[in-house]
Structure 1
Amino acid sequence: MKITPTRIYSLFFALFLSLGIYSCKDQKAENKDTETAEVQPEENAKPFFKLSLAQWSLNKPIFAGELDPMDFAEKASEMNFEGVEYVSSFYAEKIKDSDNPEESMQKVLDTLKAKSEEFNVENVLIMVDGEGELASPDKTEREEAVENHKKWVDAASFLGAHSIRVNLFGSEEPEEWKTSATQGLKALSEYAAEKNVNVLVENHGYLSSDAALLVEVIENVNMENCGTLPDFGNFCLKREGGERWEAKCIEEYPKYQGIEEMMPHAMAVSAKSYDFNEEGQETTLDYERILKLVKDAGYTGFVGVEYEGENLSPEEGIKATKELLIEVGSKLNSNNN
């Protein structure tokens, strides 16, 4: 075939068009990839809250003598937690049985504070149990409970913790309970205010798990340092045989409603967990629904991991709960809902 100048020109022109088309295709593909990347959630998104470890998650190894409660900060640090939430009963018996309880308490606090500083974890709060019924209708009994709690207010102040968590047990008659609970809680909150410590009530069974009634009490106390600590799972109102713990729950407050009602007064949050499926989702609680309620309330403080399951070891359960909180919390934060 004879190659003429005209044919050479035609071949070059065809080649030019071909290169241009592929170039445009490549550019479009690149633009499309860029657009797709822009709408994807931010890979480095973090939860909208901070993570703390509730000491109760480790109650089994502590009761078994496998973990010294004095080493709690070190354990939490090993598991990459930013904050710690102490349980008073892990220290109270040793303090009470000593020859000099005040001196023993100070030694415990000195050690806990030093450990928290050594392992760089924040002391968030102390969960106080076994110090009397703040909602008792008996004035003498109620006032004694207030006095018993004061040493833990002082302890929180020394440790730099922002709060103590209290139970609000007492009368089982709603109106009487509201009156007694308001009086006991207000008296303790007035003392705590002088120490710059908050007094938080957890939904922890019986009338304290009736969120609507509890919010009435908090609003009746009407103090800035008196609030709630919503727990994801403790909404049992009655148990078989009238038992306070362990027995089967026979009446429960609507948990999602309860969390939503408590959140406007929340100064801490407890992420209870019991069991997980193969996908890492909690099988009894809708974590995305709950954390959406927490986020919508504008809460950005600590969320404490409190695993209470039987099918995983404490460490495995803590890890599963933490990972789920990070996953869901990051998703909600990146979605900016």
Structure 2
Amino acid sequence: MNKKTVRALGLMSGTSADGLTLCFFDISAKKTVCFKNYPYNVKLQNKILNAKKMAAPELSELNFELGRLYAETALKFVKEFNIRKKDIAVIGSHGQTVWHGPRAKVPNTLQIGEASFLAEVFKGIPVVYNFRTADIAAGGSGAPLVPVFDKYLFGGKKAMLLNIGGISNITVCAGKKIYGFDIGPGNSLSDAAVNILSRGKKTYDKDGKIAASFKPDVKKAEELCRIFIGSKPPVSLERSLLAEDFVNKHFPNLERKDVSTLNYLTALIIAKSVKKFILNKDDVKKLYLCGGGVYNKTLAANLSVLLPGVKIGSTAEIGLHPLAKEAAAFGYLAWLALNGKPGSCPAATGAKRAAVLGCVIKQ
């Protein structure tokens, strides 16, 4: 990249469906200019989490509802931070994943949030969306897509970058080698339990306080962990398989104390995957956390205990806010797409080739 300043606006709404994060990212300087998360109300969050059960008319309506919301929120964001439209080289919108089925008979994925509304509001600025489909068409799983961004930031260094959203996924930078994969549940298990226990009034265990109030059933967690450990990376997962259905099946008489066990189970799955698929072959001793899970103090504490030889920190240590990273990544991937450059990492998705990701709208 030349020395010319290139800045992209990235939008991300993760599998937890807790809000829309926007990040104005300076690609040339590799740093965040500004970012903000705009939470969804509980009604919209539950609507999104149940989107997989919707009939086509309802899903189509939600697609446009989110598209309008993204455009309105992006406009609010640029005004709030005094961002001039002429300084935005490209906009990248990941959209909201409502289904991800790379292992289905016909591999598929679906992200909604109609991007045409962004293009209408930001006329003259290219908008890139629908990032995952090109990788699936190339034989990949369509996720994770952040490793190429991690390579841009950490190429040549040794580090693990663990994103804990609804699903946990990891990127490994081991010198010139880079790879990554979805691990399993991130916040999804404890989020689902809290949602069930509160009858939809609460959607997550803030700071891991409920989990910290009880001792986990370690034996049960170890038994359930066997369900997840075994699949050889690259792996890409659908959130719904790791949320309410799982909790209802394995905790039919759910109690508050079970949130502690689910928290420990999540940390155990992550730790065992890191040991089996990373530490057994690469000497990487630093783990950076990002995503909403970084604020779950109990989860972070469990990870520290289960990974004693690994130094755990936050991406904030390297100047990238843990909640901004994924939004920044899709701004960067949008810039790659605009320039016809591959944005996927076959070592992370299993694709036959690196693909240019996303569809571009120019008005």
Q: Report which of the two has the higher share of strand.
A: 2
Whose Rg is larger?
1
TM-score (norm 1): 0.31
TM-score (norm 2): 0.30
Bigger relative contact order, structure 1 or 2 (CA pairs below 8 A, ≥6 apart):
2
Q: Report which of the two has the higher share of helix.
A: 1
